[in-house]
Amino acid sequence: MALLALPHLIPHRLRRNHRRNQCRCCSSSATNEGSTAVVWFKHDLRVDDHPGLLAASKHSAVIPLYVLDRRILSRYTTDTLELAIIALEDLRKTLKKQGSNLMLRYGNAENVIADLVKEVRAHSVFVEEEVEYHLCNVLDGVKKKLEGVYLSGEGKPPRIVFWQTPFYESQSLTDLPQSWEEFKKLKLPISLPVPAARFSSPGSELQWGSLPTLDDLKDYLKESLCEKENNWREMAQASAERVLMERLGNLKESSMEPIVDGSLGKKVDNSAFVTSKRDTVGGGNETVLNALAGYLRCISYESGMLLIRPGASFFKLFGPVLCLGIVSRRSVHYEAIEYEKERNAGFISPFGYSAATVSAATDTVRSMEWYYLLALNRERIDEKRLAIRIWRWKGYLIQYTVVGNEGPAVLLVHGFGAFLEHYRDNVDNIANSKNRVWTITVLGFGKSEKPNIIYTELLWAELLRDFMIEVVGEPAHCVGNSIGGYFVALMAFLWPALVKSVVLVNSAGNVVPGYSLLPISRERRVPFGAQLGARLLLFFLQFNVKKLLKDCYPVNPARADDFLVTEMLRASRDPGVVMVLESIFGFDLSLPLNYLLKGFEEKTLVIQGMKDPISDPQKKVALLKELCPAMVIKQVNAGHCPHDEIPEEVNPIICEWIVKATSDDQEELKASSSQQICHIKEIADKWRKKTTKKMWRRVALLSPMISSSSRSLTLNQAASGLKVGESFATDIIKPEERILPPKEKAPFITFVLGGPGSGKGTQCEKIVETFGLQHLSAGDLLRREIAMHTENGDMILNLIKDGKIVPSEVTVKLIQKELESSDSRKFLIDGFPRTEENRVAFERIIRADPDVVLFFDCPEEEMVKRVLNRNQGRIDDNITTMKKRLKIFNALNRPVIDYYKNKGKLYTINAVGTVDDIFQHVLPIFNSFEQLKESSHVNPQSHLGPSLVENSS
Ligand SMILES: Nc1ncnc2c1ncn2[C@@H]1O[C@H](COP(=O)(O)OP(=O)(O)O)[C@@H](O)[C@H]1O
Ligand SMILES: O=c1ccn([C@@H]2O[C@H](COP(=O)(O)OP(=O)(O)O)[C@@H](O)[C@H]2O)c(=O)[nH]1
């Protein structure tokens, strides 16, 4: 990229002091005497123009906090992590200059913040509002957790204050037109940045934490992910271009570096650049603002970028720091306009700005703000189902949906000019056939962002790859219409591990007999004349959209309805749309479908509308039949978009295909599992003959199938896939020769049972304090899955909401992970097993028995009262769910209690009374176990009352 020289170090601040407005949320001058506020930084790593900090400064003391939360950081590229570290270092320095500091704490935000709030007795937590789905959930989690935090002497929990940096001065940001044209007509004034806040730090000694290095962070993030997740993330490190070259065997000839997520390279000393290529600005707020001042004044800089595309320079340079909030969008706008005024003696021409850099900066931040507002105001197509979610990809806002709780994952990708709503009559239908369906509006279309970049088929393939990795999280059956079909085929070619099967619905791309590779052009520039071409094309499309759409629906033109036309027109007026259209002139679809899907044919379904006006369907089908005989081809009576024109016909085809492809997949899996199991069996037989138990551990560690933390589970899953779980477990590997080797000493396990609200958790806390056991609450582990949006998160949420029991395999797997990763040998497993099936699964998978089973016996009315007062914001703590939970407890948990009673392991404790009284009855039970006394923190005296504790042995 030809970048002209931007001054490395801007020697003095070119910016003037400017008038700053007052933050609306904090215009009152009243201070909150004696109170402490926590300001939680996420994507607002600055002090300048920070309304949250300003509002918090009304408190007597402010604690600026950054939480190193894996759920947030794991979505960053390596470059972004590096930029964030630089910004955090700077933020800390700036705060220190003011006599404050930046606190850095590791962990889940809800726990870190709740603990800090208790520690410093904070009254308020300030946090910037979010639009991204996973971040909104993190924020929700924090809010709920804080609702349950009561500080002694305080009547109410600490309040959480959500703040924004409003770009436009508007009473309501949630009631704005959805069309850019209409929005511009409002001529909303752009708000001014607020001044940096001054505030005091709390007097007490606090642990501020140290700044991590990039390697620290990478290790920290790696730890939290399983092997598959780490492998997938690795996959995302290399750009599509690089993988393509590798696949085509061209890599040696090209000396290219990964274009997506290479490391930043060497920071250019004494400059605002963080890359040796000098194409990314980084640093703290002051550095970035100075770089901006330099950029604006270096007009030749932007004209140098004209070679690529006018206006593209700004996002390239400043996009990453804007996404981390090191500078706010409105500060950028303010600086650009001030500079424009400076050039023109205070005058702003109504005909446009005199400096190309000012246009580039203002256009970019206005465009970013527009897509932010669309995200904020996202509608629901159907109130009940298609709730739009937002995902951020490389800083761009992308819309998507997910429907369905069970079954295989399915991804639907639309065609050129369309959006996720083009699958309006497919999503629910496919989900109702027991599938989980994700639909995405890809970058540049619908209401997803349309940044000023060069759009290529490889960029879109990368977007889909990252969506699969970050959002879907497992391989999916990928359906694509038109150009979406080509993207999907490209993804299957480049990253086959992500794709279970491919469904091409009137896909773009050729089918070429005797194809031999042509060199792929690496230089992606906008072809000469593309800009003009795109403008003319846009004009033509806008004018003819209705007719063109109807032509694509020859059998059922009524389906080309006002909804589609209006949304296409709306999107066609969005900022940035011309750049997307330019891509039509620059696409490279030269790799034919039959080449891309070689080896994948058996996993490919082609649905071809035979009345497609855009291509020659007869020819395409004939060629596919000839060249890819293993593909399944369904010819249907429809035009270019059969899924939307005749959904009633296409949906069953897709659903049947998924069932078939999934069972084929399982057959394959079974075959490979059975091979692996045979292999393990062979090893097992061999070893059984000549080795001792101790050696089994080595077998377990050596076997690729049972490597990693979930050895026995993987084995079990494979076995149950073969429906020989029991026989495999008992016949081939006897318990005493188990693959999961016993640790030196069997762990001490306590199951804590009792109805909902019987006080299990409360007593567990006291047991932990006294005897140092590790507490594993099954309910908490499941709720953590929900909060972390793991693949089972949605399913668990739905079950918990309904008071139902989560499948044993899921819960036991979570418990197993905790047991295996813990150094402790003494566990309190709280709220588990809930059912006999849970119990059997635990015994089968973990191969351990509890030493003690506590049962907190509590009358129903008392449990109801406690649960309804629990006030932890739990979704299931309401009377309707509570009734269901009690029913389920009586029906399913009682048999477990009886089982342990018969085994003589049950200790029944009357759970009515004060917490301390009840604990007095727990103490002697644990006291009677020598191994627990070792680490007991107190020397508890027995006050065992025979009427209160009953051991059934
Ligand atoms: N002995 C007790 N008396 C009154 N309230 C209690 C007692 N033990 C616990 N609680 C309260 O009842 C609610 C439920 O207790 P918790 O330990 O969360 O139950 P469980 O784990 O069984 O669902 C909590 O709000 C807790 O503070
Ligand atoms: O082993 C378990 C533990 C919990 N749950 C689910 O998690 C909910 C809450 O359980 P928890 O132990 O957290 O709360 P309690 O019901 O004991 O108050 C239950 O109603 C179940 O829906 C489950 O399915 N399996």
Centre of ligand 1 to C-alpha 865, Å, is: 10
How many other CB atoms are there within 10 angstroms of residue 189's CB atom?
A: 9
Pocket mutation for ligand 1, best pick of 866, 868, 921 (most atoms within 8 Å of C-beta) = 866
Q: Which of 885, 888, 892, 896 to mutate to test the pocket of ligand 2 (most atoms within 8 A of CB)?
A: 885
Say what the pLDDT of residue 367 is. Answer: 96
Residues 316 and 406 in one domain: no
Segments forming the whole domain that contains residue 239: 223-376
Answer yes or no: do 665 and 639 share one domain: no
Q: Is the Cβ atom of 755 under 6 angstroms away from ligand 1?
A: no
**Is a pLDDT exceeding 70 seen at residue 691?**
no
More confident residue, 292 or 588: 292
Confidence of residue 699 (pLDDT cuts 50, 70, 90): very low
913 annotated as belonging to a binding site for a ligand: yes
In the prediction, which pLDDT does 603 show? 95
| 245 domain residue, yes or no | yes
Report which protein residue has its CA nearest ligand 1's atom 10: 759
pLDDT over threshold 60, residue 542: yes
User: Is 791 in the same domain as 687?
Assistant: no
Rounded CA gap, 384 and 373, in Å?
23
Residue (of 268, 353, 270) closest to 314 by Cα position: 353
Task: Provide the pLDDT confidence category of residue 895 given band limits of 50, 70 and 90.
Answer: confident
Q: Check if 893 has its Cβ closer than 6 Å to any atom of ligand 1.
A: no
Q: Which ligand is nearest to the CA of 764?
A: 1
Residues linked to residue 748 through DSSP beta bridges, in sequence order:
826
Q: Is the CB of 874 under 6 A from ligand 1?
A: no
Q: Which residue has the higher pLDDT, 229 or 894?
A: 894
pLDDT at site 527: 65
Give me the helices (H) in 108-191, please.
109-120, 133-147, 180-185
Which ligand lies nearest the alpha carbon of 872?
1
The token duo for 435 is 């599938």
Cβ of 918 less than 6 Å from ligand 1: yes
Give the confidence band of 882 by pLDDT, cuts at 50, 70, 90: very high
- 625 annotated ligand binder: no
Residue 122 Cα, ligand 1 centroid: separation in angstroms?
Answer: 25
Does ligand 1 lie within 6 Å of residue 910's CB atom? Answer: no
- Quote the CA–CA distance of 776 and 827 in Å, as a whole number: 7
Which ligand lies nearest the alpha carbon of 867?
1
Q: Looking at residue 130, what is its pLDDT?
A: 94
Q: Which ligand is nearest to the CA of 893?
A: 2
The reply to whether 94 sits in an annotated binding site is no
* 38-47, 273-282, 309-318, 705-714: least confident range: 705-714
pLDDT bracket for residue 934 (50, 70, 90): low
**What ligand has the least distance to the C-alpha of 911?**
1
pLDDT score of 262 more than 50: no
885 is in an annotated binding site: yes
- Residue 131 banded pLDDT, cuts 50, 70, 90: very high
- Statement: residue 869 has pLDDT above 60: yes
Q: Are 43 and 224 in contact (CB under 8 A)?
A: no
Asked whether the predicted pLDDT for residue 188 surpasses 70, the reply is yes
Q: Residue 813's pLDDT is what? A: 92
Residue minimizing CA distance to atom 11 of ligand 2: 779
Question: Residue 782 Cα, ligand 2 centroid: separation in angstroms?
Answer: 8
Question: Can you tell me which atom of ligand 2 is nearest the CA of 755?
Answer: 17
Q: How far is CA 293 from CA 83, 356, 388, in A?
A: 20, 14, 38
Does residue 557 belong to any structural domain of this protein?
A: yes
Please give the pLDDT value at position 518.
56
CATH number at residue 828: 3.40.50.300
Q: What mean pLDDT, rounded, does the chain reach?
A: 81
In a domain, 817, yes or no: yes
pLDDT of residue 736: 31
Atom of ligand 2 nearest to the CA of 782: 7
Mean pLDDT of 418-441: 95
Q: Are 893 and 774 in a shared domain?
A: yes
What is the average pLDDT across 151-159?
79
82 vs 61: CA distance, rounded Å = 30
Residue 832 annotated as lining a ligand binding site:
yes
What letter does residue 303 receive in the DSSP assignment?
H
| Interatomic CA distance for residues 412 and 386, integer angstroms | 13
Centre of ligand 1 from the C-alpha of residue 536, in Å: 69
Residue 803 has pLDDT above 80, yes or no: yes
The reply to whether 762 sits in an annotated binding site is yes
Q: Whose CA is nearest to atom 16 of ligand 1?
A: 759
Q: Please indicate, yes or no, whether residues 782 and 925 belong to a single structural domain of this protein.
A: yes
Q: Are residues 229 and 216 in the same domain?
A: no
- Testing ligand 1's pocket by substitution, the residue of 147, 753, 762 carrying the most ligand atoms inside 8 A of its CB is 762
Q: Is 12 strand, coil or helix?
A: coil
Nearest CA, atom 23, ligand 1: 757
**Backbone φ, ψ for residue 605 (5° rounding):** -115, 130
Q: Is 92 known to sit in a ligand binding site? A: no
Q: How far is the CA of 779 from the centre of ligand 2 (A)?
A: 4
pLDDT tens-digit readout, 482-491: 999 999 999 9
pLDDT of residue 22 exceeding 60: no
**Final residue in a domain of this structure, among 645, 678, 707:** 645
Check residues 540 and 449 and name the one with the higher pLDDT: 449
Q: What is the structure's pLDDT at 689?
A: 38
- 792 or 947, which is more confident: 792
Q: What is the pLDDT of residue 170?
A: 86
Tell me the mean pLDDT in the region 650-674. 76
778 CA: nearest ligand 2 atom: 3
941 alpha carbon to ligand 1 midpoint, in Å?
24
pLDDT band per the 50, 70, 90 thresholds, residue 845: confident
Does any ligand 1 atom lie closer than 6 A to the CB of residue 756? yes
> Does residue 21 lie within any of the structural domains?
no
| Pocket of ligand 2, beta carbon within 6 A | 756-757, 760, 777-779, 782, 799-800, 803-806, 811, 831-832, 834, 838, 876, 885
With H, G, I as helix, E, B as strand and everything else as coil, classify residue 856.
strand
CATH number for position 444: 3.40.50.1820
Grouping H, G, I as helix, E, B as strand and the rest as coil, residue 426 is: coil
Asked whether residue 124 is assigned to any structural domain, the reply reads yes
Reply yes or no on whether the pLDDT at 3 is more than 50.
Answer: no
Tell whether 870 is in a known binding site.
Answer: yes
Strand partners, 477: 410, 501
Angstrom distance (rounded) from CA 707 to CA 699? 10
What ligand 1 atom has the least distance to the C-alpha of 911?
Answer: 1
pLDDT in tens, 275-324: 766 778 888 999 999 999 988 887 655 544 444 567 788 888 899 999 99
Question: What Cα–Cα distance (Å) separates residue 335 from each residue in 192, 193, 362, 583, 683?
Answer: 10, 10, 9, 32, 70
Does 920 lie in the same domain as 850?
A: yes
Is the distance from the beta carbon of residue 760 to the nearest atom of ligand 1 less than 6 Å? yes
Among the bound ligands, the one closest to the CA of 915: 1
Mean pLDDT of 735-739: 30
Our answer on whether the CB atom of 554 is closer than 6 Å to any ligand 1 atom is no
Instruction: Tell me the C-alpha distance between 54 and 655, whole Å.
Output: 54
Question: What pLDDT was estimated at residue 671?
Answer: 54
Predicted local distance difference test score (pLDDT) of residue 597: 95
Same domain membership, residue 194 and residue 91: yes
For ligand 1, whether the C-beta of 193 sits within 6 Å is no
Looking at residue 739, its pLDDT comes to 30
Atom number of ligand 1 nearest to Cα 763? 17
Quote the pLDDT of residue 172: 80
CA of 906 to the centre of ligand 2 (A): 20
For residues 946 and 223, the model is more confident at 223
Please tell me the predicted confidence (pLDDT) of residue 712.
Answer: 30
CATH number at residue 195: 3.40.50.620
Lowest mean pLDDT among 698-707, 831-840, 885-894: 698-707
Q: Number of structural domains, the chain?
A: 5
Instruction: Report how far ligand 1's centroid is from the alpha carbon of 892 (Å).
Output: 21
Ligand 2, atom nearest to 885 Cα? 20
The per-residue pLDDT for 201 is 82
Average pLDDT over residues 435-449: 96
SS3 211: coil
pLDDT of residue 668: 59
The ligand minimizing its distance to the Cα of 877 is 2
Q: What is the pLDDT of residue 322?
A: 96
Rounded to whole angstroms, the Cα distance separating 683 from 702 reads: 10
State which ligand 1 atom lies nearest to the alpha carbon of 831: 21
In this structure, the answer to whether residues 421 and 560 fall within a common structural domain is: yes
Tell whether 833 is in a known binding site: yes
Is 93 annotated as contributing to ligand binding?
A: no
Sheet containing 476-482, strands listed edge to edge, beginning at the edge strand earlier in sequence = 389-393, 396-403, 436-441, 409-413, 476-482, 499-507, 604-609, 632-636
Take atom 5 of ligand 1 and give the residue whose Cα is closest: 866
Residue 831 labeled ligand binder: yes
Instruction: Give CA–CA dist 268/275, Å, rounded.
Output: 7
Mean pLDDT confidence for 336-361: 89
The pLDDT > 70 percentage for the chain reads: 79
Question: Residue 539's pLDDT is what?
Answer: 87
Compute the distance from residue 834 Cα to the ligand 2 centre, in Å.
Answer: 8
Going by alpha carbons, the residue nearest to atom 4 of ligand 2 is: 779
CA distance 912 to 629: 72
Domain boundary among 202, 221, 240: 221
Domain boundary among the residues 619, 645, 671 is at: 645
Is residue 324 within 8 A of residue 266, CB to CB? The reply is no
For residue 320, tell me if it sits in a domain.
Answer: yes
Question: Residue 840 C-alpha to ligand 2 middle, in angstroms?
Answer: 17
| Residue 758, ligand 1, Cβ within 6 A | yes
Mean pLDDT for 229-243 is 81
| pLDDT of 702 strictly over 60 | no
Residues 269 and 214 in one domain: no
Report the nearest atom of ligand 2 relative to the CA of 830. 12
Phi and psi torsions of 706, nearest 5°: -115, 30
pLDDT score of 945: 33
Average pLDDT over residues 750-770: 95
**Higher-confidence position of 513 and 736:** 513
pLDDT in tens, 72-119: 998 898 889 999 999 999 999 999 998 999 999 999 999 999 999 999
Q: What is the pLDDT of residue 300?
A: 55
pLDDT bin (cut points 50, 70, 90) of residue 704 is very low
Ligand 2, pocket-test mutation among 777, 876, 888, most atoms within 8 A of CB? 876
Q: Is residue 52 part of a domain?
A: yes
Nearest residue (CA) to ligand 2, atom 15: 756
For residues 153 and 75, membership in a common domain is answered with yes
Å from CA of 756 to ligand 1 middle:
9
Mean pLDDT of 890-914: 92
Determine, yes or no, domain membership for 382: no
The reply, when asked if residue 378 is annotated as ligand binding, is no
Same domain, 554 and 584: yes
More confident residue, 317 or 733: 317
What pLDDT does residue 663 have?
Answer: 76
Query: Band of the pLDDT at 683, cuts 50, 70, 90?
Result: very low
